[in-house]
Amino acid sequence: MSGRSFHTSVDRYFDQAAAYARVRPGMLAQVKSCNSIYRMQFPVRGDDGEVVVVEGYRAEHSHHRLPTKGGIRYSPDVDLDETIALAALMTYKCAIVNVPFGGAKGGVRFDPRKASEGFRERVTRRYTAELIRKNFIGPDIDVPAPDYGTGEREMGWIVDTYKNLNMNSPNVYACVTGKPISMQGIPGRRQATGLGVYFGIRACLDRTEDMKALGLAPGIRGKRVIVQGLGNVGYHAARYLQTDGGAVIVGIAEMEGAIHHPDGLDVEAVAAHRRETGSILGFPGAETVTPSAAILEAPCDILVPAALENQITAANADRIRARIVAEAANGPVDAEADAILRDRGVLMIPDVFLNAGGVTVSYFEWIKNRAGVSFDRMFSRHEATMKQDLLQQIEALTGAGIPPETRQRLVRGPGEEALVMAALDDTMTRAYDRIHACWKERALPDLRTAAFLTAIEIVAGSYEHHGIFP
């Protein structure tokens, strides 16, 4: 999918929702527009000693809240239109889950899979230096995070570069999120987007009336699920759907192909097989599906596209047999396909809500870095003492002893990761309740329109209330 067509789809979703907005036309134009764009070309020394000119981008879509926030993507397909579209989605995601950031996105055009670690590091550090030079990064300005083709390692290189070029700057570790734990990252960030997908799907399937309209029983348990993409997002979404939700994962697709089993696939076992062999193909007992994209058309209750954008288009939308499409990736369904699926009665859980788990936990990491202390450290000892006293009083009053293992669990309380996961669960559930109420109360055509409309009105309200205009 070209960045231009992806950008067109995002703008089309915006326009569909804007028709229902209680917002002045001029303000709608401001919410839709991308505030700042930085396109750069910089030299990096290749492994052979020759100079390679690399192209990169950073788009800050909305300054209604600062800092702006968004991932950095490494891919040979990165372009400016894609970067702007992804930045716009970040603005709307942050508004929907009530995270106080504007949206941003970055990208560097090269293939990290074909590059050495040394070249990736040189690209990352030079890209960071370019962002610093133009004031496109900083704890109060613009805070990147991982995206397709990047991860904890790249975020570590970014914070190290930023720290060394801004030695007297406060809160340097808050300049980027998704860092390794050893560099003041936060537990749970790695699985946050996939776990957020699980929480969002669970919230949707708990609505009895909506499931009745689809001919499904409420709840995830027993639902047949196909997941496209076994990367960070797809793997964790599939794992939680299977282990916590009780779903049956009947199909998994990756770049090398797809596999299917009507009785279900063990996600952990498939991931282990891929680590050992380099492919999901050949997994014992599974049927190989070719081409890989054909798995999208297999019968299931829930289809979870968790790879790249434009996987479902007008060319294949008529053949999708899922009753629910849960967009774990950014833009996996284009605007034409979205209309076809909606007319066919397929329930779409939109990406602008569903994959906001990553930015939610990034927000928690940013808060932690600015505070300089983990969430459980300030109160854990005090709470343990209070709980110990309370349990002793209960034992004294009842005359019954509390088993040691139970006492230890009750006194210790949650650690930082448990607190983060609980807050993510609460955030995704509340966000779904918000867009679902908008959908029903304002008689909108679908959840996607409700999600975009919710975001538009929140962002416009922020501009109005903060008196940003001169």
Catalytic residues: 105
CB 66 within 8 A of CB 141: yes
Distance CA 468, CA 66 (A): 12
Distance of alpha carbon 260 from alpha carbon 187, whole angstroms: 33
Instruction: Classify residue 162 by burial, with Cβ atoms within 10 Å: 0-12, 13-18, 19+.
Output: buried
User: In the numeric block, which tokens belong to residue 216?
Assistant: 């499904």
Cα angle at 88 between 83 and 93, to 5 degrees? 120
Tokens describing residue 204: 């949707």
Q: Is 111 exposed, middle or buried (0-12, 13-18, 19+ CB in 10 A)?
A: exposed
Question: Tokens for 469?
Answer: 């205009």
Instruction: Judge contact between 465 and 63, C-beta under 8 A.
Output: no
For 306, left (φ over 0), alpha (ψ -120 to 50), or beta? alpha
> Cα–Cα distance between 279 and 54 in angstroms, integer?
30
The C-alpha atoms of residue 392 and residue 412 are separated, in whole angstroms, by 15
Which residue in 162, 171, 178 sits closest to 73, CA to CA? 178
- Is 193 in contact with 355 (CB distance < 8 Å)? yes
Helices marked H in 278-415: 335-343, 351-354, 357-371, 380-398, 404-412
- When computed from its CA atoms, the radius of gyration of the chain, rounded to whole angstroms, is 23
Q: 362: closest CA among 144, 211, 168?
A: 144
**What is the biggest distance separating any 2 CA atoms in the chain, rounded to whole angstroms?**
79
CA distance 220 to 198: 9
**332 within 8 A of 312, measured Cβ to Cβ:** yes
The span from the CA of 152 to the CA of 183, in Å, is: 10
Specify whether the CB–CB gap between 264 and 248 falls below 8 A.
Answer: yes
CA distance 213 to 397: 52
**Which distant-in-sequence residues (6+ apart) come within 8 Å of 437 by Cβ?**
none
* Side chain identity at residue 381, one-letter code: R
Q: Answer positive or negative: Cα dihedral of 69, 71, 76, 77.
A: negative
